[in-house]
């Protein structure tokens, strides 16, 4: 088993450098592949200083989004480095070797697994089970609203009673902030959909892996820490701008994977308008929305 770690950067070289410094000597990671997503701040030149000793630095020709950048890195890891499995890690995560060894163990023992992730400890919001079902149209809408996602959370996520006393459980979807994939299965299923720039990548990957007959595992006995969208927030500082991108990605997913009808698209756009109103109200009252957004 040969594990590579892919880290995608966009205008945030310092955070990437900090993660590389932490994991560079991990024996369980064969090589680290840094992908600069056509940064505009000189990040690529700065990251090139890390190249060498178990670290590769490559650059995308353009910023095609989260999926395109990670696809580039994973293809490089598999085709150039001979990686069998690839850890996809956001720059703003932190993890120890035990976590990676635990993920690798899942793949060795369960060859049907295509994706595995550890439990996420979020810097702001604490511990989360962070495994959920592949939503249908209604579930996806409910999962997006700051209020609706809290009201219906028990129906949207994997139930905690399922996990009591277990070291790992099968789920449909895991957060994309840090996960490990079977490299061959990832390439065979098509990887991330490059028609999506940001958000909903987890749903796409889960759908494609499921269609391939591969399963997803959430490892409960290991965890990683997440800075909660540090890199995304630096790149897209306006909350409503992030919401607009999220809506575009969700509609793309609905049209291409749920195959919604025109009246459902109309209903979704109306729902999104309501969410934007919620965002404005929450921002006015609290100065922002806690717990609303992607894991990235």
Domain with 169 in it: what CATH number?
A: 3.90.550.10
Residue 249 resides in a domain: no
Calpha distance 269→249 (Å, rounded): 12
The answer to whether 98 touches 27, Cβ cutoff 8 Å, is no
Rounded to an integer, what is the distance from CA 178 to the centroid of its chain? 6
pLDDT attached to residue 290: 47
Calpha distance 20→91 (Å, rounded): 9
Element (H, E) at 8: strand 3-9
User: In the structure encoding, which two tokens stand for residue 1, read together?
Assistant: 């088993």
The answer to whether 39 touches 8, Cβ cutoff 8 Å, is no
Instruction: Give the Å distances, CA to CA, from 177 to 9, 44, 251.
Output: 13, 21, 22
Nearest one of 85, 31, 37 to 55, comparing CA atoms: 31
pLDDT attached to residue 152: 66
pLDDT attached to residue 291: 45
Calpha distance 122→128 (Å, rounded): 8
Domain hosting 119: range is: 3-233
Task: Collect all residues with Cβ–Cβ distance below 8 Å to 128 and sequence separation of at least 6.
Answer: 119, 120, 122
Task: Tell me the pTM.
Answer: 0.89
Low-confidence ranges of the chain (pLDDT < 50): 159, 161, 233, 235-237, 290-295
Query: Burial level of 187, CB count in 10 A (0-12/13-18/19+)?
Result: middle
Calpha distance 125→96 (Å, rounded): 20
Q: Is 197 left (phi over 0), alpha (psi -120 to 50) or beta?
A: alpha
Element (H, E) at 100: helix 97-109
Q: Cβ of 284: how many Cβ atoms within 10 Å?
A: 8
Residue 222 resides in a domain: yes
Residue 132 resides in a domain: yes
What is the total count of domains within the chain?
1
Calpha distance 47→59 (Å, rounded): 10
DSSP 256: I
Calpha distance 16→14 (Å, rounded): 5
Residue 210 resides in a domain: yes
């Amino acid at each position: 088993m040969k594990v590579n770690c892919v880290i995608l950067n966009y205008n945030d070289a310092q955070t990437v450098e900090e993660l590389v410094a932490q994991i560079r000597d991990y024996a369980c990671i064969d090589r680290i592949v840094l992908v600069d997503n056509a940064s505009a701040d000189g990040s690529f030149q700065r990251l090139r200083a890390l190249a060498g000793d178990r670290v590769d630095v490559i650059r995308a020709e353009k910023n095609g989004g989260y999926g395109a950048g990670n696809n580039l890195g994973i293809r490089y890891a598999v085709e150039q480095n001979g990686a069998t499995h690839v850890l996809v890690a956001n720059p703003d995560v932190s993890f120890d070797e035990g976590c990676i060894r635990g993920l690798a163990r899942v793949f060795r023992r369960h060859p049907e697994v295509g994706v595995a992730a550890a439990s996420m400890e979020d810097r702001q919001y604490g511990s989360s089970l962070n495994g959920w079902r592949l939503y249908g149209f209604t579930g996806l809408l409910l999962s997006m609203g700051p209020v609706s996602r809290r009201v219906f959370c028990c129906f949207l996520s994997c139930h905690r009673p399922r996990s009591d006393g277990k070291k790992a459980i099968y789920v449909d979807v895991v957060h994309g902030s840090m996960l490990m994939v079977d490299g061959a299965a990832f390439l065979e299923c098509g990887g991330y959909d490059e028609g999506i720039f940001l958000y909903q990548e987890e749903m796409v990957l889960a759908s494609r892996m499921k269609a391939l007959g591969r399963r997803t595992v959430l490892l409960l006995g290991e965890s990683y820490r997440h800075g909660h969208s540090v890199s995304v927030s630096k790149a897209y500082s306006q909350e409503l701008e992030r919401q607009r991108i999220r809506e575009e990605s969700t509609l793309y997913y609905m049209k291409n994977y749920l195959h919604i009808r025109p009246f459902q698209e109309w209903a979704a756009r109306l729902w999104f308008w309501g969410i934007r109103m919620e965002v404005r109200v929450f921002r006015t009252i609290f100065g922002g929305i806690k717990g609303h957004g992607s894991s990235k």
